[in-house]
Structure formats: structure tokens, C-alpha cells
Structure 1
């Protein structure tokens, strides 16, 4: 599918005023424990869906705030998280992002992650490398977990996994420099891609959480795998370890040793 990447980036960046609207961020609906939706989520999703359908009417649309039961991944699909890090947005933390991926015949071919509060936009196209604000990016070249900074997620929608998750996080923490918890999967993946962290681990992610980030990490020279070591499937809920080609393997081995699978 032919896409003018510069035009596409400008479309994504046009959502910035919606993110900065504090009034709409304060209109919150509770979907579940630690699971919220604001008017910003709804407005951004509606806007992007309309704009994408005008430009590419034959491409399906998967969004976090809609029923996606009719999606056929044998065709082309946009995969959108309008606001990744909604809890951050509500509490005025700046780690929130729009995450948009394009899946074609079961493969992610384009990914964009935009952080309006920092004015950083990460993107990648299959076979064309990864970029942040127009500059090429690459994963860290750190080879040892003991020298690595690792981002983690706590799977807040799955409190039944709390003990197992924190055992895994503790295991990673015991072997690395330190851990970070950004609260937005797409941001964690973008930071792996540009080398700010060496790896990222989280369980129970949905396609809109990591489809865009997966291709950005891969085009930046890294890998996104599941706990068993296979390439993570961006079309289905997954437990993932993203890394620079070295550190994700160390984390995988640790988790297997601790029987966290």
C-alpha cells in the first residue's frame, strides 16, 4: 500500500490539540479497575477513523474504543490506540501517546507513535528503517543485562496476575541496572527503539498496545518476542519482551528459569 509518509505524519500530529485539552481529559468513564476512557480517547479515535477512511476507504479499522470482532487480518487493517497511557493523561503525567500501526496480510508494515506532550514522533516502514522526528534511530548496543535499563509494565487490568508479574519484575530488577515504569506500552517500545532503554517486558498486551511499536523496534535493529522466544504476534493478545537483540534473550532465560511463562 502506497503511503506518503510525510503527509501521514502530519495527519497524526494534527491530534496534538486534542491531547492538550485538559477539560476533555477530565471527563472520565470507568470501564474497569484501572481501565479508563476520556473524551480525548473518543475524540482522537473518531477523528483518526474518519480521516483514515477518507484517504484509504478499503482498509479496515481496529481501535481500542470499539468492537473489533469483525476484523479480518487477511486484509489490510489500521490498528489504533488513540491514547496509550490514559491513566497518565488523567493524572497529568506526560507519558501518553497515539499509537497507529498498519497490518497487511498478517504483517505489520507501518508504525507511528506520537507523544504530543514531548513533540516526539517515532515511525517505521517495513524495510526502510526507524526514525524519531526525522532522524534515524537504532537500539542500544549494550550486550549485558547487568548493564541495562529495563522498562516494565504491571498489567493493571489483570490483578489476578499481580504476584506472578511482580515476581518477574523483581527477577529482572535483580539482574539489571534499574527498571522504569512509563505506563504506556507504545512509549516503552519507542524507547527501546531509540536506545533509551535496552528492553521492555509486559504481559497481556493487546494489538493496539504494541503493533506500531513492534515494527519500530524491529526496524531499529531490535526484536519483540514472546516469553517462549518466538516473534510476538501483533494481531493477538500477547506477553512480550522487546529488546536490542541481546537483552530480550537474557530476560527470556531468566523468566523460564523462574517458571514465569
Structure 2
């Protein structure tokens, strides 16, 4: 075995072992959240508005995950939504964490929220994990090795889908009436829309074929990174609203859909926005 192949095998072993550790951490964090929900009403604070919330649980989960990453991989970079010990290092590896995607759902409904964690480098995904805590669904993928929900391998998304036959998840810019009108025109081209209030849940429902696309006018890297790894394993395309490729730290408008539906959406947005 040549030295280059040996390095590649060592890297693969390391990344697989890291993936298995991360699954354990996510499942433990899910149990912590369930205990909190069962024990007492969850207190919360507002961040940028009355609908942008953070709880003690968000902070506790992110802190707990960051502690485990730091203990095991002290040189890795970390980007978390709540900015708990975020850091940039010389390591090629970056962890992207959303401790609870769908905080408002957790507070108001005690369901439809998820823990999301991804590992990537500057130019490639390593793995993504999304745990639907109350639904007890663990979505996961290692780049190049397929995607799974619990113990079931997910099928690649079908070819030749049409937007007119699909339900899409879409988040509208309600603060901007003119821009919102353009998105509403896009809605008429789909069979219907669904709004969950949790990006990870919407994206993972594309993997389950419950939704056909996701359109968001402004999203953060931690909202979509883990789900993106999972969906790209199934043939889903991610881009900005103009159809351009996005990196793993991109923030802004996103379209995620199987290629033909993705093309229809980007083409419609190009005419409307």
C-alpha cells in the first residue's frame, strides 16, 4: 500500500470513528432535552424579536456538545448558533452545530424540533446528523456512504419530478411586501406549501419524500449544514436563490430540491425577484 492510500485510509477511519462518537453525543443530548421538557416549563429569552427565541436548553445542549468536541478534538474549529466557545483554528475540520432547530416549536408545541450537527472541511462534507428528538428519528449520512433514518437506508430521490406535483417548504420575507409578493407567485406553481418552523425538519422531509423542495430567503449555515450532507447523498441540489453553488459557511437565500424541481424554482425566482 502506497503512502497516499495509507493516509486516505487513516483519514476515513478517523472520520468514521468521529461520526460514531457524534451520534452518541446527539442521542445523549436528546435525552437531556426530553428530561427538561418533562420536568418543568421551559423558560426563554428573545434575541432579535419576539419570535426569535433562545432557551436555557439551547445553551445547555450547545455547551455540552462543544465540551465533548473540545475534549476529544481540541484543535477543531467550531461554529454554533448560540456562539458558545465558537473558535477558528488551523485545523481543516469545522463542526457546525444547531443545538435546537425549532426552538419556538419546542416551547409552544413540545415537538417538531431537532438537534443538528455537521462536520466538514473547507471544500467537502464529512458527515451530517439530525435528530428529531420527540419523533425519535435519527437522520444521518457520511459523505459517499448513503443516508439513513434510524436503521433504514434512504433511497435516492426520483428523477423527472415536476414542481406542479410537489409540496414545498417556503419561508416568506413577511417584512418586505414587494419581495413577499414574488415568493407568493412561486407558491402558485407548486401543488401546495408547508411551513414547519424548523429548517432541519423541512429538509429531512425531502429525504422522506414528504416534501419536494425547500426555499428560504435567509438562512444560516447551522440551519442547513447537517441536512445538506444527508440530502446531497440522495441527489438533492443546494444553491443560493440564483442557482449558484454555496460553501459550508454560506448565509443567505437557499433552494434545495431534486435537480429538475430545483431548476424550475431557480428559473421562476429569476423572473419574479
Q: Deviations over 1:190-227 (max 9, x none)?
A: 11123221100002211101111111110011111111
Alignment RMSD, CA only? 2.1
Structure 1 residues 168 and 83: alpha-carbon distance in aligned structure 2, compared to 1, 3 A threshold: farther
Corresponding residue SS for 1:50: helix
Q: Give runs of ≥4 in structure 1 deviating > 6 Å.
A: none
From 75, 79, 100, give the equivalent of 2:92: 75
Partner Cα separation in structure 1 for residue 137 and residue 189 of structure 2: 31
Tell whether the 8 Å contact from 2:75 to 2:90 is kept in structure 1 after alignment: no
1:227 aligns with 2:245: no
Tell whether the 8 Å contact from 2:58 to 2:99 is kept in structure 1 after alignment: yes
Query: What is the aligned residue count?
Result: 255
Quote the offset at 1:153 in angstroms. 2.0
Structure 1 residues 48 and 241: alpha-carbon distance in aligned structure 2, compared to 1, 3 A threshold: same
From 119, 122, 135, give the equivalent of 1:118: 135
Corresponding residue SS for 1:192: helix
Structure 1 residues 25 and 10: alpha-carbon distance in aligned structure 2, compared to 1, 3 A threshold: farther
TM-score, scaled to structure 2: 0.86
Quote the offset at 1:236 in angstroms. 2.2
Partner Cα separation in structure 1 for residue 182 and residue 88 of structure 2: 33
Instruction: Please say which structure displays the higher CA radius of gyration.
Output: 2
Which residue pairs with 2:262 in the alignment? Answer: 248
- The structure with the largest helix share of the pair is 2
- What does residue range 100-115 of structure 1 map to in structure 2 within 5 Å? 100-115=117-132
TM-score, scaled to structure 1: 0.89
Structure 1 residues 25 and 62: alpha-carbon distance in aligned structure 2, compared to 1, 3 A threshold: farther
Q: Which runs of 5+ in 1 are unaligned?
A: none
